[in-house]
Amino acid sequence: MRNLDLIAISDIYGDVEMVEELLRRLEGAREQRVIVVAGDIGITSEYQERHKILSMLAENAKYVLYVAGDTDPKDMKIDVPNVINLDGRGFFIEINDIKLGFIGLGGAPRHSVRKDEPLPNLFDESIQIVRDRLLRSLRISLEKIMLNRPDYVILVTHSPPYGMADRSTPITLREFIVLEEILADVIGYEQREEEAKKVSISPRKLGSRIIRDFVVNYKPDIHIFGHVHKQGGKVIRYRDTTFFNVSHLSPLPYRLTGRKFLLVRFKERMYDFVFDHLVLKNLPFEFFLESYL
């Protein structure tokens, strides 16, 4: 039986080593593989960081489809023929007689990040004109791909829909220490303890109401997203849609829960899926304990 494999990842944060490890794990023919990246490809403003990662993926897949995350430039363009930016558009794929229609939306709602975070790709859901514009873009993209009569409609966003695998949770003591180390690299010593404490808050919903409204009304078969790391690896079936939170490939900031990727294998009129977890096999045991726990 001929298959079509979809690999979905998110929240890479420029970690080339993790991407290399993922590619070593892939099986099967390149021509039967599609890779979906649900945003936060890089963590700096450097174009080359994102271009290198997407180019590496493109060498190992028929197509690479991506949306920009909140850490990525909104109008990010990658000049690689089989790398497709899904933000605000639809894309149709037919491989081995399996027809997939993709639509996408990048960025994240402003309420899902700290107010003082200077991120380049946020949208304000409290503004009606913004809500109308984004919903209209998703609807038009859907109408276009439905002309091809896909077997499955797949929505790819960076943000989860509101209320679906989008809950933040207080960080553990170990995660607090790791977060302090990360913050020390980017902000002054005087601010890092205060900033880390701001992250350790009660659970709250970080998802997008715009995306939720679209999913409720138009019911895509599959919804792939990232952004909320603590919910990475979660699968939810609700009504006619299966939701996959595929964050996060990078181990930052949660070393133990990172390095996840999703494999969806499409067959004739059906599909199955599995979440897998990358562990660097050549890592000495003492460094494993330091890096993973």
pLDDT in tens, 63-79: 999 999 999 998 888 88
To the nearest 10°, report the CA torsion of 164, 150, 56, 31.
140
Asked if 72 and 98 sit in the same domain, the reply is yes
Asked if 29 and 145 sit in the same domain, the reply is yes
Cis peptide before 248 (omega within 30 of 0): yes
Choose among 277, 210, 287, 291: nearest CA to 249: 277
Q: Of 144, 179, 202, which one is at a domain's C-terminal end?
A: 202
- The per-residue pLDDT for 290 is 61
Percent above pLDDT 90 for the chain = 63
When divided into structural domains, the chain yields a total of 2
Helix (H) or strand (E) run with residue 37 in it: strand 33-37
- Contact indicator for 66, 86 with CB cutoff of 8 Å: yes
| Whole-structure pTM value | 0.85
Is the pLDDT higher at 280 or at 228?
228
pLDDT band, residue 62 (cuts 50/70/90): very high
**Tell me, what DSSP letter sits at residue 96?**
T
Report helix, strand or coil for 239: coil
**Tell me, what DSSP letter sits at residue 124?**
-
Asked if 210 and 180 sit in the same domain, the reply is no
Q: Of 180, 202, 224, which one is at a domain's C-terminal end?
A: 202
The pLDDT of 190-209, averaged and rounded, is: 60
Per the structure block, which two tokens stand in for 117? 């975070």
Please state which of the ranges 73-87, 148-162, 225-239, 246-260 shows the lowest mean pLDDT. 246-260
Report helix, strand or coil for 71: coil
**Tell me, what DSSP letter sits at residue 42?**
-
Asked if 196 and 234 sit in the same domain, the reply is no
To the nearest 10°, report the CA torsion of 246, 250, 256, 261.
30
Asked if 198 and 217 sit in the same domain, the reply is no
Asked if 63 and 190 sit in the same domain, the reply is no
- The per-residue pLDDT for 13 is 93
Asked if 61 and 175 sit in the same domain, the reply is no
- The per-residue pLDDT for 189 is 43
pLDDT band, residue 291 (cuts 50/70/90): low
Domain that holds residue 174: 169-202
pLDDT band, residue 186 (cuts 50/70/90): very low
Residue 156: pLDDT above 50? Answer: yes
Asked if 42 and 178 sit in the same domain, the reply is no
Asked if 87 and 135 sit in the same domain, the reply is yes
The pLDDT of 104-130, averaged and rounded, is: 92
Rounded-to-integer distance, Cα 49 and Cα 237, Å: 35
- The per-residue pLDDT for 43 is 87
CA distances from residue 169 to 200, 204, 269 in whole angstroms, order as listed: 8, 7, 38
- The per-residue pLDDT for 28 is 86
Helix (H) or strand (E) run with residue 290 in it: helix 285-292
- Please work out, in degrees rounded to the nearest 5, the angle formed at the alpha carbon of residue 99 by the alpha carbons of 97 and 105: 155
The pLDDT of 268-277, averaged and rounded, is: 90
Q: Of 179, 202, 225, which one is at a domain's C-terminal end?
A: 202
Asked if 134 and 225 sit in the same domain, the reply is yes
Residue 137: pLDDT above 90? Answer: yes
Asked if 75 and 208 sit in the same domain, the reply is yes
Kindly report the CATH number assigned to the domain that includes residue 63: 3.60.21.10
Residue with structure tokens 């003591």? Answer: 173
Asked if 47 and 79 sit in the same domain, the reply is yes
